[in-house]
């Protein structure tokens, strides 16, 4: 149940661009637009989702369990959606989702999403591109995991973050280091040691603020590859 203002805001989202007004109206019919504080769980592994979640602002961590182990699969920011695949296929979530940076989330009823998918080609095409992007994102992550050592992953994370924030050689870790460690597929202790090793390549660490004093040395170590690290490709 959205207010008129919320409805206006929501309908301008990328995910609706090109869609028929009726489609948008149907999708927003039983929708919610909420702000969530940190640490709130928005979805749980193994449960079948009732809503497609679209991140308007903030950040959401997707993580998964096996036995007593846990790992982060990805961190989602605006304007991306999550648990999209589970909603499309009407199958249980493969991962849980928790807010790691206060977030505004648009929740679209799963049944409406599946209905719209078969009625509005533009919406279906948007969902397809959304899924294609997510697929490529996770493919890069899998390549990152299988083809690089943890130090290489860390170095490349740094290079990429720096590039994304204007190459001013000052990078801030936007969440807890443990989350970064899990995302990079290592244990927190190992992340510390990784940073310690990077000191030899001109990287200074002060809390969550990182300084790159020898960009060339770091790049030489990282050897970034567009087919793993370019966010746009």
CB atoms under 10 Å from CB of 28, counted, come to 21
Cβ(133)–Cβ(82) under 8 Å? no
Which residues here bind DNA, judged by CB under 7 A? 149-151, 176-178, 185-193, 195-196, 205, 208
Residue (192 or 220) nearer to DNA, CB: 192
CB of 152 to DNA, least distance (A): 8
- Cα dihedral 93, 96, 100, 101 in deg (nearest 10): 20
Q: How far is the CB of 17 from a second copy (least distance, A)?
A: 12
- Judged by beta carbon distances under 5 to 8 A according to partner kind, the member of DNA, a second copy, none in contact with residue 140 is a second copy
The one of a second copy, DNA, none whose footprint includes residue 127, by CB under 5 to 8 A per kind, is: a second copy
Find which of a second copy, DNA, none residue 190 binds, CB within 5 to 8 Å per kind.
DNA
Q: Which of these segments, 30-38, 69-77, 167-175, 203-211, binds a second copy (CB under 8 A)?
A: 69-77
Distance (Å, rounded) from C-alpha 207 to C-alpha 182? Answer: 18
Beta-sheet pairing, 41-43 with 96-109: antiparallel
Q: Give the DSSP per-residue string, 159-218.
A: HHHHHHTTS-SEEE--S-HHHHHHHTTS-HHHHHHHHHHHGGGTEEEETTEEEES-HHHH
Q: What does the binding site for a second copy look like in residue numbers (CB under 8 A)?
A: 45-46, 64-67, 69, 71, 73, 84-86, 88-89, 91-92, 94-95, 117-122, 124-125, 127-129, 131-136, 138-143, 145-148, 185, 223, 225-228, 233
């Amino acid at each position: 149940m959205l207010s008129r203002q919320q409805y206006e805001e929501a309908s301008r989202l990328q995910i609706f661009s090109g869609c028929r007004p009726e489609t948008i109206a149907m999708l927003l019919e039983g929708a919610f637009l909420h702000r969530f504080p940190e640490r709130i769980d928005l979805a749980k592994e193994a449960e079948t989702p009732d809503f497609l979640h679209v991140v308007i602002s903030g950040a959401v961590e997707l993580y998964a369990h096996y036995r007593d182990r846990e790992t982060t699969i990805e961190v989602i920011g605006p304007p991306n959606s999550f648990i999209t695949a589970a909603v499309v296929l009407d199958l249980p979530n493969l991962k849980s989702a928790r807010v790691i940076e206060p977030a505004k989330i648009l929740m679209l009823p799963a049944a409406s999403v599946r209905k719209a998918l078969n009625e509005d080609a533009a919406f279906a095409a948007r969902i397809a591109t959304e899924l294609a992007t997510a697929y490529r994102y996770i493919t890069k992550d899998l390549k990152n995991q299988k083809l690089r050592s943890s130090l290489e992953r860390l170095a490349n994370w740094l290079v990429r973050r720096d590039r994304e924030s204007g190459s001013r050689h000052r990078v801030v870790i936007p969440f807890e280091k443990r989350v970064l460690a899990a995302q990079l597929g290592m244990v927190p202790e190992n992340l510390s040691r990784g940073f310690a090793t990077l000191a030899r390549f001109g990287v200074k660490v002060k809390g969550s603020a990182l300084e790159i004093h020898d960009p060339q040395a770091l790049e030489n170590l990282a050897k970034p590859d567009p087919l793993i690290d370019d966010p746009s490709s």
